[in-house]
Structure 1
Amino acid sequence: MIKQLPIFLSGAGKRDVRTQFAALCYRVRKSKVQVLLITSRGTKRWIVPKGWPIDGLTPAACAEQEAWEEAGVQGRTDGRCLGIFSFSKDADDLGALPCLAMVYAVEVKTLAAEYPEVGQRRRKWMSRKKAARLVSEPELARILRDFDPPPLSGQT
């Protein structure tokens, strides 16, 4: 596991580029890699769980927390960033904010039936190739297509 330092938040300008942390949730079944996509709450687009930094947590731990809150994922990451993708986030009072999301692989151990955002999103397992076709962000599509799981659990 790579050692990361926790994040300590300080004020940012309202128009500054914002950073979020995303979870590429995956499992290996019969030697096939599957990724878990969820729908966004507003537009119902297919996305990966992601969210804002959480004071005192590492970026990888933030990604794990978002995976839990948005998809009911209980899993673990090795702490390595797989890549970054850009997107715009609509903020009611500010319009579209430019954002970057750092993506961390989260190996799914279990999926909970009850979790904070159950009923607000759909979740679905699919191949990397299909997931890459369904997401809107080209950089995220590339990360999904090229994803090769780290050997966390010894699965093949």
Structure 2
Amino acid sequence: MNFLHRLASDVQLMLRRPARMQYAALCYRFTAKTKAPEILVITSRDTGRWVIPKGWPMQGKQAHEVAEREAYEEAGVKGKVQRAAVGAYVYQKRMDHGLEISCKVQVHALEVEAFCKKFPEKGTRRLEWVDYKEAAKRVAEPSLKELILDFGKRVDPAAEQRPKEPSS
């Protein structure tokens, strides 16, 4: 039985495909009063879980341009997107036919400058601006949680003024 289990495991490894690539926008802004960063989280259309705007590669567009486009289509925001990724995370995407595939998502920060009244997915998702700690709590993927927390600490002007925790 051990041999069959090992053989089945080897076959699964041979058939496993590499992660598919997606590109996402980590949309942020600063509050007027405190200058604290806020992150835009949106709900997915299928499960209603909290996510950030993301999508598949688009022919003729670079990764940061895809992230910028997804932010507009899914959340109706426009702004200045960073060419360099702030990080990446992996998640399991359930396809329409029920199969789950592994997706690697390259994340680009986008500082929001404008909101559109009309955009392609208006009314199909909930959108909320929350502080970066709350955004990290809402998303399910552990590596996305970490990415949001790290980004928030980097851009939060108040984070520099807080005393550092003693190292052990």
**TM-score, normalisation: structure 2:** 0.78
> Are 1:76 and 2:92 counterparts?
no
Given the alignment, which residue of 26, 29, 36 partners 1:27? 29
Return the letter of the residue paired with 2:133.
K
**Mapped partners of 1:58, 1:37: distance in 2:** 23
**Mapped partners of 2:115, 2:147: distance in 1:** 23
Return the letter of the residue paired with 1:18.
R
Given the alignment, which residue of 106, 118, 141 partners 1:137? 141
Deviation at 1:91, TM superposition (A): 1.2
Secondary structure of the corresponding residue to residue 86 of structure 2: strand
Could you say which structure has the higher helix fraction? 2
Return the letter of the residue paired with 1:19.
M
Deviation per CA, 1:105-139: give whole Å up to 9, x if none: 00101111210000110100000000000000010
The answer for the alignment partner of 2:130 in structure 1 is 126
Secondary structure of the corresponding residue to residue 143 of structure 1: helix
Could you say which structure has the higher strand fraction? 1
Deviation at 1:94, TM superposition (A): 6.0
Secondary structure of the corresponding residue to residue 81 of structure 1: coil
Deviation at 1:92, TM superposition (A): 2.4
Given the alignment, which residue of 113, 116, 135 partners 1:109? 113
- Count residues in correspondence: 138
The answer for the alignment partner of 2:57 in structure 1 is 53
**Mapped partners of 1:79, 1:99: distance in 2:** 20
Deviation per CA, 1:38-78: give whole Å up to 9, x if none: 00001100100000000111100000000000000111212
Stretches (4+) displaced over 6 A: none
> Are 1:87 and 2:87 counterparts?
no
Return the letter of the residue paired with 1:79.
R
> Are 1:64 and 2:101 counterparts?
no
**Mapped partners of 1:44, 1:71: distance in 2:** 14
Q: What RMSD over aligned residues (CA atoms) do the two structures have, in Å?
A: 1.8
Larger Rg: 2
Identity %: 41
